[in-house]
Structure 1
């Protein structure tokens, strides 16, 4: 597998583009594993575990997430063993509270601490980490925890960063200078890695594996 040892950490709110990127990267064997967070992770979690209560169903319908959940479900049916979805989330209930997927009644603002630990283990086992999109609402420090923790773990690997929010979070976490490559265009970066032609990503991954010292 050309992508052996390569993990994509995919978050943010650009759900359609990211769903396409995840499927294409796995289909083409350019990544071994995908860890999802942000609204992307929320959609994948609902695709895996279902919409567990009426309050959450109302939020999902209001947000227009149903078509994305179906697309994520199809992706999981093909590549579920390689995709790591959140098992808990953080919400704002007079402060940050972590809840498991079955207790979730609203759109989350971060991945939960159990998910952070799980995804850090995935990163630790990786050689190259492509980090595109935050795990939560990083504008509020209470909900930047997941993004910060995973970026710090990924800084010990050959790290490729994509998107303005990811770069901002990496700067705040003190790991920006440790990145092997930085792409400022978030949507463009996602579209590039999600497209049929992935020569740019192939070059980056080959270079990261061969020449990183």
Structure 2
């Protein structure tokens, strides 16, 4: 009797599981504003294979900055074929001595080292630091929201790729959040325990004011 119930329910379960698939794809129309659910769909009659191909990650990110770090991104805003797919990728380049400063995303991140050696890690909400030296071919997962970082500890430049379960994972650098804004220096001093001179210096470096 049980087997007949399963056979009876199977088509129903299949129909429910596929009920959310209405279109094969929704290539983003970048000429229209984006919203919480992404971009509006491009007219399917105007979609071509080029909408599903992106070559931007061939190009290294510029490392001519304070952190000696550059990023090339493949998000829906550059690669419209990702729209609605729930996935994206970033290429990270670090010169010798470079670092990806402590930052956070809305979603998890999976990183793989392609060239070089890094120390990568994250800090959980109990303030426990999980970090390890990664070499070519090694991978590490960073849970969503948690602060994480990468540092080039080798003698050669680093190339790494990170993937995200979102076409727009967002990013917030702690340094930028604290010093690239109009928050009064007095407030920053209170919440960081830094002295006024250091806060003013960092605001100048990162382009903040007040």
Normalised by the length of structure 2, the TM-score is 0.28
Normalised by the length of structure 1, the TM-score is 0.28
* Structure with larger RCO (C-alpha < 8 A, sep 6+): 1
Task: Give the number of the structure whose residues are more often strand, by fraction.
Answer: 2
Structure with bigger gyration radius: 2
